[in-house]
Chains A and B, each alone.
Chain A
Amino acid sequence: MTLSLDDLIKELRGTLAKMELALGAVKDAIAWTAEDGTIQWCNAAFDRLVNRSHIYNLGAPFSELFSFKESGLYEHTIQGQKRILEVSANPIKLPQGTSTVFSIRDITKLKETQNQLVQSEKMASVGQLASGVAHEVRNPLGIILQSVNYLELEISPDQKQIHEALQALKDAVKRADRIIIQLLDFSKPARPELKPASLQKTIDDSLELLAKKMALGRVQIKKNISQNLPLMQMNENEMQQVFINLFLNALQAMPDGGELSIDCSPKVLEESGGRVGHRSGDKFRVGQKVLVCIIKDRGKGIAPSNIHRIFDPFFTTKPPGEGTGLGLTITRAIIENHGGSISFQSEEGRGTQVTLLFPIAATY
């Protein structure tokens, strides 16, 4: 059986179409340039990268779009945006001249993520360093406290002013020691075991760590925590990290100061919605008793376009170097490890409300 010319053309066209479709599906931008430097063919990823219609890339000089000719890493501006491009230039010798196939990968996001990871690691190192420093500082504080106690015994009870000064010194040392203990707790590696603990104490400890920052930022704390709040199963260290993250976000959302309110109370869930309901995927059931913690600020709020991304790793709206974009990712992970849930309601220019729900163990 002989193949007719029509069939042969059809077969070849089929092969070409498959090649074209396959290269079109590749994520890297690919361009084939002739010896004179004009683009003879490029894929859809190339058109997207240079943001120009395919037809106008064909036949255009490659140098019109890119200045590089060889493999390497290049910084390139496309429509005012700096991109980092990893370029592989492969010369292909043909009888009619040497063509070059350029394979271009936009690694801007990858580089950003790598930089953020480096920054996170640096921050972890700073945390370890802080814990070392804290240990070193506690020793002299202990000596100061012992010396003050000794002086108190040695000085006559009549010298009231000196005793008052010594008491103030002791209070300051104890406060410094308490902060250091909290700092040490915070920098300890996460402990998986949960034990009954007070949410109120965790909130108070977190606020105390941030007291100075809050005062400097002119943030008023309005706390409304139910008396006899039931204990919940928690890892205090991790839970403290949650509240520090949330309070710091609120603080940063109110650069001119404002009010941060914290409401915490037990509640029986009455309505379905969010993570509450009767479906298998729901975290809480209607009728279940939970701890509800609402943290509200009157800050700049979150843009509607950003609210669905706030838990994304490395997503941040803070200026470069000021946020790792990991805070809320870690926060949600910790809360979910505690069987809880976190949700945000926000209005730009009016503020943000964070609602935390935690299960209450039946035995507490």
Chain B
Amino acid sequence: MKSIAGLKKETFLPVVIANEQGCITYVNEPFLALFQWKREEITGKPLTTIIPPNLHDAHNLGFSRFLMTEKPTLLNQPLQLMAVTKEGVQFNAEHTITAEKENGHWIFGAVIRPLTNFPK
């Protein structure tokens, strides 16, 4: 599993990085190509922007629980989850999420590998 710094060097697979408020701080070129967002549009937006609406609550609850307990249940393992593009196209993708603490604050990074229904 790559570190957050390692994820920033990824050029082939889509990568997204978020801060502990759950706001996107970094995306790479493959991410922009896949999700159809422009960098300035997506940066600063909450992670729920790329999560289908029916999973927003689960994300918020799980994310909040992790911040409080610091006990990971889903990190560093491939997870099949739906994601959503700017146009609202939902697709299945394998997410591998990692978390690191920097200056006492959590940073989250994910590599997203589209599986089926790849949006054209």
- Please give the residue numbers on chain A whose beta carbons come within 8 Å of chain B beta carbons, in ascending order: 6, 9, 12-21, 24, 32, 34, 36, 38, 40-41, 54-56, 58-59
For A36, what are the chain B residues with a Cβ–Cβ distance below 8 Å?
54
A16 touches B73 (CB 8 A): no
Smallest Cβ distance from B89 to chain A, in angstroms?
15
Q: Interface residues of B: mostly helix, strand, loop or mixed?
A: helix
For B64, what are the chain A residues with a Cβ–Cβ distance below 8 Å?
12-17, 20
For B52, what are the chain A residues with a Cβ–Cβ distance below 8 Å?
59
B37 within 8 A of A: no
In the complex, what distance in Å separates the CA atom of A56 from the CA atom of B79?
Answer: 9
A21 touches B80 (CB 8 A): no
Given contacts A6-B21, A55-B79, A56-B80, contact A17 B58 (CB under 8 A): no
- Please give the residue numbers on chain B whose beta carbons come within 8 Å of chain A beta carbons, in ascending order: 21-22, 52, 54-55, 57-58, 60-65, 67-69, 73-74, 79-82
Nearest residue, chain B, Cβ from A36: B54
Q: Interface residues of A: mostly helix, strand, loop or mixed?
A: helix
Smallest Cβ distance from A48 to chain B, in angstroms?
14
Query: Given known contacts A56-B80, A59-B52, what 18 new A-B pairs fall within 8 Å (CB)?
Result: A13-B63, A13-B67, A13-B68, A14-B68, A15-B64, A17-B65, A19-B61, A20-B62, A21-B65, A40-B55, A40-B57, A41-B58, A54-B73, A55-B81, A58-B58, A59-B55, A59-B81, A59-B82
A59 touches B57 (CB 8 A): no
Smallest Cβ distance from A24 to chain B, in angstroms?
8
Nearest residue, chain A, Cβ from B51: A59
- The 4 A-B residue pairs with the shortest CB-CB distance, nearest first, are A17-B68, A16-B64, A13-B64, A17-B64
Smallest Cβ distance from B74 to chain A, in angstroms?
6
Smallest Cβ distance from A16 to chain B, in angstroms?
4
A41 touches B61 (CB 8 A): yes
In the complex, what distance in Å separates the CA atom of A18 from the CA atom of B68?
Answer: 8
In the complex, what distance in Å separates the CA atom of A167 from the CA atom of B6?
Answer: 103
In the complex, what distance in Å separates the CA atom of A104 from the CA atom of B58?
Answer: 19
